[in-house]
Structure 1
Amino acid sequence: MTTEGTAMDASPPRNGQPGELRILSQPDLEDLGVSYAQVLRIVEQAFIALRNGDSHNPLKTIVQPADQRSIAYSMVGRDGASETTGFKVVHEFDPQRTRDAYRFHSFIFLCDDLTGQPIALMDVVKLGPLRTSASSALLARAACPEARSALVVGTGVQGRIALPMLLAAIPQLERLMVYGQHPEGLQAVRDELLRLHPQREVEIVSDLQQAAGQADIVIGASGLTARQQVRRAWLKPGAVAVLLGYGIDADVLHGANYRIATDTEQMQVTCTDLADANGHIPPIDAQLPDILLGNALARRQRDDVVFAYNSGMVVTDVALGRYLADLALAANRGTRVKLW
C-alpha cells in the first residue's frame, strides 16, 4: 500500500459483464497499490453523500441464539457518490471467545446502479479495517485537527493500520504511541508503519495511564479481551478518544464534554455495553456527516474532552468496496462465475 494519491479520482471503469459475477477472494485483493489518502477521500465522500446524495444506510439486521454462541447480521446500502449498491453479510462464531472456536466469515455483493450489472462478490477482511480506520481518522481530524500526538490501544488488524491512516489524515503528527499485550502484535504495528513511513517511528508504551495523559488522540482498537482501558480522568484537556472496538472505558463516554459519532441510530444498536447501571447512554452532540459538511461542530470549546464513537456504516463498505473491486478487476483479478 501507499499513502500517495492515485489516478482513481477519475470515474471508475464499469467492469460488470451481463450474467457474470466476479468472485474476489482475499489473495485477489492483495498488493493492489491502495492509497490511504484515496481511502480517506472515498470514505469522506460516502459520509457526505449520506446528506447530499442519493445514499442510503439502513440499520443492520442482527440475529443471535440465546446462548450467544454466534452472531450474524446483514446490511444493505447505497453509495450515491459512486452509484453503487451493496449487500454485506457477516457470521461470527464464538464472538465472546469462550469456546476456543472463533470463526469469522463475511462478504459483500456489489452492483453497479447505473448499468444494473453485478460488479463483484468479495471478501471483506481487507475492506473492513480500511474503512473503519478511515472513519476513525476522519473523526480524530475533525475533533483535533492540530494534534501532535496519538496513542493506539490494541495491536490487532485495526491497531496495525490505525497510525498510518492517522498520518494520512493528520500529517503533522509528531509522536506516535502504541499500547498492547502481545509482542508479535506490537512488532506488527512497528513493521506496518516502517513499511509505509520509513522515516517514522512508533513508541511502544507500557504505562497506559501516562501515555493516555500525553496524547491528543487516543484510538481504542483493542479486542474483546482487552486487559486495561483508558479512563476519563487520564485524558488531558482537549483530547479526543475514538472508540471502534475496546480499550476506552465507558466512563469516557459518560464523562466527556462533547460526544460525536458516525451515526447516532447505528450507535444505539451497537453500543449497549457502554450504558450505565440504569441502561442510560448520553445523547450525541453531532454526527460525522454533518461535521464534514460544516453543519455541526466537532467540539464546542478548545479544552473539551471529546468522545467519538465509530460504528460501522455499510455505505462506507459499499463505497470503498467499489474502489477495491475496480482496482482488482482492472488488474484482471478474481474468478468469473456465470450465475444468470
Structure 2
Amino acid sequence: MRIVSAAEIAGALTHSAMTDALAEAFRAEVTVPLRHHHPIPQGPGARDAMLLLMPAWTGVGEDAFVGTKIVSVFPENGTRGLPAIYGSYILCNGATGAPLAVMDGTALTVWRTAAASALAARYLAAKDASRMVMVGAGALAPHLIRAHAAARPIRHVTLWNRSREKASQLAEGLKGTLPGITITVASDLQSAVEEADIVSCATISTNPLVSGDWLKPGAHLDLVGGYTPAMRETDDAAVLRASLFVDTRAGGLHEAGDIVDPIRRGLIQESDVKADLFDLARGTHRGRASDDEITLFKSVGTALEDLAAAMLVWRSLPV
C-alpha cells in the first residue's frame, strides 16, 4: 500500500485535469452513501470531537475503485497547538477490496473543492469573464483562483479578507505564479465586487459578506465556505436575484445555509434551484441562459468528488 503526501498530490494534478475528472465522475454511475457522523465525547467541560466517514465507489470490474475519506474534528486541539481537523483518504481496488493507497485527505479536499467550482464556472460564468474577486485568504483561496483561471480567461484578481494583512500575504505568495494575471488587495469589498465577473467566497462566515445588490449583470457568484445551515456568505438579495445552482441537491438543500435558510423562511422554494452538477455535466440543463443572467453556485462537497480526485491521483502517480 502506498502513502501519498500532499506534495505528491500537487505534483500529480493540474486544475484542468482535476476539473475534467470531476465532470466525468458526475456523468458516471458512482454510489455515494450518506456521510457518517460519529461524536466522540471528550470529558467534562470539553467539546465533543467528531469522526466523519465519507465512502463512495464506482461500478464493478477490474477498473473499479472503493474509497473512504476519514476526517477527525477535535475542537480542543487549539489548546494543544494542533490543527482541529485531520483527514486521510483510503483508496481500494474495487474488484478485490485490496488497499491501494492512503492519501493526504486535506490536500485532496482543497483540490477537488476548487475543481468543483471551476466545473460549475464552465457552465455558469460568462465565457469572457476576466475579473475575479476572491473573498477569503485561507488554504482554499489559491486553489480557487488557479482553478477559475483554468476555466475562464481571468486577467485580474482582487483579494479581500477581514484581515488585510492575510490578504497581502496571499498576494505575495501568488506573485510570479500566475503569468498574465494581475493580483491586487482590496480595502472596499463592495467596490471590488461591483466590477467582478466572478466572485468566489471561501470563508467560515455566519453572516453575509457579499450583497446581491453589488452584483453586476452577468456576474457569477461562487459560494464555497459555508457548510452548515447556520452559515451565510451572501444575503437574501443575491439569492433572489440569481439563478441558483448547487453541487448536489442532497447536500445543497440540507446543509448549505445560503440555500437552506431562505427556503426555511419561505423566500424561495426547493424548485428554485435550477440544477446541480449532475444535471450540468450530463447536459440535462444548459447552465447560463443569457449574457446578463446572474448565476449563483453553492457547494458543500460530496464523497464523489473525493473519490474522483483520489482515482486521478492514483492513475497519475509515477510507477
TM interval, shorter chain, is: 0.7 to 0.9
3-state SS of 2:158 partner: strand
How far is 1:309 from its partner? Answer: 0.8
Q: Which residue of 2 aligns with 1:55?
A: 30
Kindly tell me the number of residue pairs found equivalent between the two proteins.
Answer: 302
| Matched position secondary structure for 1:86 | strand
**Distance between the aligned counterparts of 2:137 and 2:238, measured in 1?**
22
CA RMSD of superposed structures (Å): 3.1
Residues 256/125 of structure 1: CA separation in 2 closer, same or farther (3 Å cut)? same
Q: Does 1:155 align with 2:137?
A: yes
Question: Do residues 266 (structure 1) and 251 (structure 2) align?
Answer: yes
- Give the letter aligned to residue 58 of structure 1: P
Distance in structure 2 (CA, Å) of the matches to 1:30 and 1:58: 25
Structure 2: 5+ residue runs without aligned partners? 227-231
Q: Which amino acid aligns with 1:167?
A: A
Distance 1:201 1:118 in 2: 44
Provide the rounded CA distance (Å) in 1 between the counterparts of 2:79 and 2:261: 23
Separation (CA, whole Å) in 2 of partners of 1:37 and 1:30: 14
Which residue pairs with 2:125 in the alignment? 144
Q: TM-score, normalised by structure 2?
A: 0.82
Counterpart residue identity of residue 242, structure 1: D
Report the more deviating stretch, 116-125 or 266-275. 266-275
* Contact 1:194–1:200, Cα closer than 8 Å, also in 2: no
1:222 and 2:203 are equivalent in the alignment: yes
- The letter for the 1-side match of 2:37 is I
Distance 1:323 1:26 in 2: 14
8 A Cα contact 2:244 2:297, kept in partner: yes
Greater relative CO (CA pairs within 8 A, separation 6+) = 1
Runs of 5+ consecutive residues of structure 1 not aligned to the other structure: 1-20, 332-340
**C-alpha separation between the residues in 2 aligned to 1:68 and 1:249?**
29
- Report the Cα offset of residue 311 of structure 1: 1.9
Question: Could you report, residue by residue, the CA deviation over 1:277-327 in whole angstroms, capped at 9, with x for unpaired residues?
Answer: 945564211111211222113234432322211121111111111222344
C-alpha contact (below 8 Å) 1:263/1:287 kept by paired residues: yes
Name the CA shift for 1:294/1:83 in 2 (closer, same or farther; >3 Å). Answer: same
2:111 matches 1:130: yes
Corresponding residue number in structure 2 for 1:314: 303
Residue identity opposite 1:317 in structure 2: D
Residue of structure 1 equivalent to 2:25: 46
Residues 77 and 253 (structure 1 numbering): CA distance in 2 closer, same or farther, change over 3 Å? farther
Counterpart of 2:229 in structure 1 is none
User: Which TM-score applies when normalising by structure 1?
Assistant: 0.78
Quickly say closer, same or farther: Cα 1:204–1:90, change in 2 above 3 A.
same
SS, match of residue 284 in structure 2: coil
SS at match of 2:194: helix
- Secondary structure at 2:245 match in 1: strand
Aligned-partner Cα distance in 2 for 1:245–1:98: 24
Q: Counterpart in 2 of 1:210?
A: 191
The answer for the alignment partner of 2:239 in structure 1 is 254
Deviations 1:218-244 (A, max 9, x none): 111123488x71111111122111111
